[in-house]
Amino acid sequence: MAIGLLGGTFDPIHIGHLRSAEEIRERFGLDRVIFIPAGHPPHKTRRQVLAARHRFAMARLAIAQNPAFAIDDLELRKPEPSYTIDTLRAFRRDHEATEIHFILGIDAFQEFATWNKYESIFTECNLVVTTRPQYTMKSLGEILPPEMAETFRLAQDPRGARFVHPCGTAVHIVAIAFLEISSTRIREAVRAGRSIRYLVPREVEQYITMHGLYRR
């Protein structure tokens, strides 16, 4: 079985998240994509993140119509900051025979070397890094420290650049149809009283309105 893990604050989840997940699921032949809302994300210290129960509820509503999508509250149940390496190891313990693809955007990957125990992440899963269509990367040395980047070898792959780790996992750099939608833009629109229709699923829009979220 092959699964994709898509983490994030999902504050709120939007159409861009869903479209990226579906495109990666199809391109990599994944059986399922599991959305993992972050509990206490260590990289989001500059602003207050919406309560976990609201973010989880919106994500669950957003994926309800896609049988290949699922959601897991693993990180939300942890009182301490959530680190990707711990999440991956927990999934690995529960799904030993599963091929795991961790999905993240290029902006997050730019900061990857600052993540907790980032070197160990490469041995736990494949990385699928989504980019805009015009983005190109010739070497992981553009992002990772040279001593780490040099351990990878570039391999041919019709889906995009593939850098293979000595343990057999790979970092895939994959261009997808990019939607200019961000959670920040959605929060700002709600605060300003503007419509967010077609930026988020209808059920998420209704949830935000019903609970008066993001108004200040």
Confidence of residue 202 (pLDDT cuts 50, 70, 90): very high
- Cα–Cα distances in Å, from 203 out to 15, 80, 98, 180? 12, 30, 32, 20
Domain boundaries, the chain: 2-211
% of the chain surpassing 90 pLDDT: 80
Bigger pLDDT: 103 vs 136: 103
Whether pLDDT at 48 is above 80: yes
Q: Give the mean model confidence (pLDDT) for residues 48-69.
A: 97
CA distance 51 to 74: 15
Contact partners, residue 125, CB within 8 Å, separation at least 6: 5, 88, 92, 100, 101, 102, 169
Question: Of 41, 44, 33, whose CA–CA distance to 4 is shortest?
Answer: 33
| Domain 2-211 is found in CATH 3.40.50.150 | no
pLDDT for residue 47: 65
Question: Which two structure tokens, joined as six digits, stand for 18?
Answer: 């869903």
Q: For tokens 């209704």, name the residue.
A: 206
Q: What is the pLDDT of residue 190?
A: 98
| Partners of 117 in beta bridges | none
Q: Which two tokens stand for residue 17?
A: 């998240």
Sign for the pseudo-dihedral over CA of 198, 202, 205, 206:
positive
SS3 128: strand
Task: Tell whether the model's pLDDT for residue 35 goes beyond 80.
Answer: yes
* Token duo for residue 164: 């293979």
Which residues, 6+ apart, have CB-to-CB distance to 101 below 8 Å? 2, 3, 4, 5, 24, 28, 30, 125, 126, 127, 128, 172
Instruction: Report the C-alpha gap between 1 and 148 in whole angstroms.
Output: 29
pTM for the predicted model, two decimal places: 0.93
- Poorest-confidence range of 22-36, 79-93, 107-121, 201-215? 79-93
33-47, 89-103, 111-125, 163-177: segment of lowest average pLDDT: 33-47
Mean pLDDT, to the nearest integer, of 46-74?
Answer: 94
More confident: 134 or 49? 49
